[in-house]
Structure 1
Amino acid sequence: MVKIALADRVLPDARPANWLDRYAPDWLKPYGKLARWDRPIGWWLLLWPCWWSAALAAIAGGQGWPNLWHLVLFMIGAIAMRGAGCTYNDIVDRDLDAGVERTRMRPIPSGAVTSRQAVLFLVCQALLGLVVLLQFNRFTVLLGIGSLVTVAVYPFMKRVTDWPQLFLGFAFSWGAFLGWSAVFGRLDWAPVLVYFAAILWTIGYDTIYALQDKEDDALIGIRSTARLFGDRSRAAIAGFDAGAIVLLAVAFALAGAGSVAFAGLVVAAVHITWQLVTLDPENPENCLFRFKANSHTGWIVFAGLVLDALIRFSGVL
């Protein structure tokens, strides 16, 4: 009965009307929350570098639409591997999560899922991710396996450095390599620059996310860029986001993107500026809303790239 009650609780950063809490059977809810199925923002943020890179590869290859099969595979892989990463993170952080108000009701610290059950669930998600990865060429498969190093070290970084957001960027931006290599079977400077741009973007949006927990984090010794920057957080985030926009612009130029892609980048910059101007670092709800708004940033950049390719190469527009 206790586990069912815990499973029924909507976690603080999930939407009250999310599909998992409304429709999933009770036995599935704790596992869905462990994988963050009730909070899709995470897998969208993991997916965007993949889709940006795939769309940029379509431009460089003189195509219209990016490979739709690749886009579907990247989405399935992002959902599976984001879930696996969150499960792994929660296994590692189960004691720390119990000491933070926003995370103490997560499935493992609340007792809704045991550590053993979480490990088995982690394996299932990782196997699904492997099946997806094996659909690509050999070079991409090897690249994808290489990302596991960044995933493995990330949960420990908040204990040893003020820059865990940087290590999250290493992991969450890896798709910038895969979207390009899935098309060409190699890497070039354009996807490398998208990777570094996505790292800067990740540091920016995850610093906004970490602002929610800075007081609890200080009490239990969790380190973050939000604590590091303190009152200078807004300026620091602006610097990282500006760097991301510049690197994306250079990547677009190297891949031969046209004016529509750059227009999309300008709109994305305006959207990011709105986030920063309206950000209230002392208001957790405000921070969470601005953090989630970065999914819109991803859509804007992607839409600009796709429209640019369609106008120039496919004759669809």
Structure 2
Amino acid sequence: MQRPAPTQTVSDAPKGNWVDRLAPAPWRPWLRLSRADRPIGTWLLLLPCWWGVGLAMIVDRPAWVDLWIVAVCALGAVVMRGAGCTWNDITDRDFDAQVARTRSRPLPSGQVTLRGAFAWLGAQLAVGALALFTLNVAAVVLGVASLALVAVYPFAKRFTWWPQVFLGLAFNWGALLAFAAHGGTLHPAAALAYAAGIAWTLFYDTIYAHQDTEDDALIGVKSTARLFGADTPRWLLTFAAVAVLFLALAAAAARPTPVQAALVTVGIAGFAAHLWWQMRRFDPDDNGRLLALFRSNRDAGLWVALFLAAAGLA
């Protein structure tokens, strides 16, 4: 079979994304393999890291190293999200070839070979390791430990109806890592923020998974969207409530001053309002809306990160 040209687009990427418009043609398959054409996943991996930095500044105090942690987390989110997506596509290449939304991705469409995908995975992991090793020992240990979660996640949908839990465990690990990078220790506030992030991931990835329920049923892939079915709105409300509750508990555990508490309250209230807005607009039969709601979670998480940072600096 003739390999498609590198200029071929991916059907589930945003139309007119920067990779399709601006990246040199030979780079495009590799950037698509890392999902650089859809940055929402990078944001969702990065934001819990920034939550951890903000909470660390409230618990302790701001330090110049926090600027470096913020930058390292941003670089790490780009390359580790890319590595995770590459690994996911390697393990799911046969499934992706059977799903309309994913069969145009670089591996199933033939834009990238399996050997090339493994080489690209190694390159991204190497860059991530270099960034991680600039942090303290506690952060390095936590970063290495996270690789087990990343490795397991693509297989979760084969053996559990709750693969979103495994995604949440992996995607929110940065809340622990970034907090530890600040002072070398962990704190109940970081653990509670991690739990909040897991509930948030269950919320947004259940919305996302509803795009593929029919194809997933045909090929035997499990998800919370398939498990919940028509009962999804009640579950979304539960996940949203748990996420907001644990964020509030994380803030309280950080023992903020009155000014800091007021700022954090605004951040959590905005987060809660955004999740409520998403639930009101949820329609499992409208894939365009499902994708838009999923992507809007960048704004929900960023709102929390900004107000935690403001509180830490107050």
TM-score interval (norm. to shorter) = over 0.9
What are the superposed Cα offsets for residues 275-304 of structure 1, whole Å, 9 maximum, x if unpaired? 110111111100000000000011110111
**1:10 shift after superposition:** 2.9
Q: Which of 252, 272, 284 in structure 2 is aligned with 1:269?
A: 272
- Please tell me the residue identity of whatever aligns with 2:234: A
Alpha-carbon distance in 2 for matches of 1:211, 1:122: 28
1:252 has 2:255 as partner: no
Identity, in percent, stands at 47
What are the superposed Cα offsets for residues 13-71 of structure 1, whole Å, 9 maximum, x if unpaired? 32212111101111110000000000100010001110001011111113388811111
Residues 34 and 106 in structure 1, CA contact (< 8 A), matched pair in contact too: yes
Aligned position for 2:12: 13
Aligned position for 2:303: 300
Residues 34 and 90 in structure 1, CA contact (< 8 A), matched pair in contact too: yes
Aligned position for 1:179: 178
Aligned position for 1:73: 72
Aligned position for 1:290: 293
Residues 165 and 206 in structure 1, CA contact (< 8 A), matched pair in contact too: yes
Alpha-carbon distance in 1 for matches of 2:106, 2:30: 8
TM-score by length of 2: 0.96
What are the residue-to-residue correspondences of 1:1-317 with 2, within 5 Å?
3-5=3-5, 7-63=6-62, 67-257=66-256, 258-310=261-313, 312=314
What are the superposed Cα offsets for residues 166-220 of structure 1, whole Å, 9 maximum, x if unpaired? 0001100100101110011011111011111111111110001100000000001
Residues 153 and 167 in structure 2, CA contact (< 8 A), matched pair in contact too: yes
Alpha-carbon distance in 1 for matches of 2:184, 2:87: 30
RMSD between aligned alpha carbons?
Answer: 1.4
SS at match of 1:28: helix
**1:2 shift after superposition:** 5.2
Number of residue pairs matched? 310
**1:123 shift after superposition:** 0.1
Residues 173 and 195 in structure 1, CA contact (< 8 A), matched pair in contact too: yes
Q: Please list every run of 5 or more consecutive structure 2 residues that lacks an aligned counterpart in the other structure.
A: none
**1:90 shift after superposition:** 0.4
SS at match of 2:26: coil
Q: Please list every run of 5 or more consecutive structure 1 residues that lacks an aligned counterpart in the other structure.
A: 313-317
Alpha-carbon distance in 2 for matches of 1:23, 1:181: 38
SS at match of 1:15: coil
Change (3 A) 1:186 1:64: closer
Alpha-carbon distance in 2 for matches of 1:61, 1:2: 59
What are the superposed Cα offsets for residues 66-109 of structure 1, whole Å, 9 maximum, x if unpaired? 81111110000010000000000100000000000100010000
Residues 9 and 104 in structure 2, CA contact (< 8 A), matched pair in contact too: no
Alpha-carbon distance in 1 for matches of 2:219, 2:104: 17
- Please tell me the residue identity of whatever aligns with 1:298: G
Aligned position for 1:315: none
What are the superposed Cα offsets for residues 228-264 of structure 1, whole Å, 9 maximum, x if unpaired? 0000112101111110110010000111231111111
- Please tell me the residue identity of whatever aligns with 2:22: Y
Residues 4 and 110 in structure 2, CA contact (< 8 A), matched pair in contact too: no
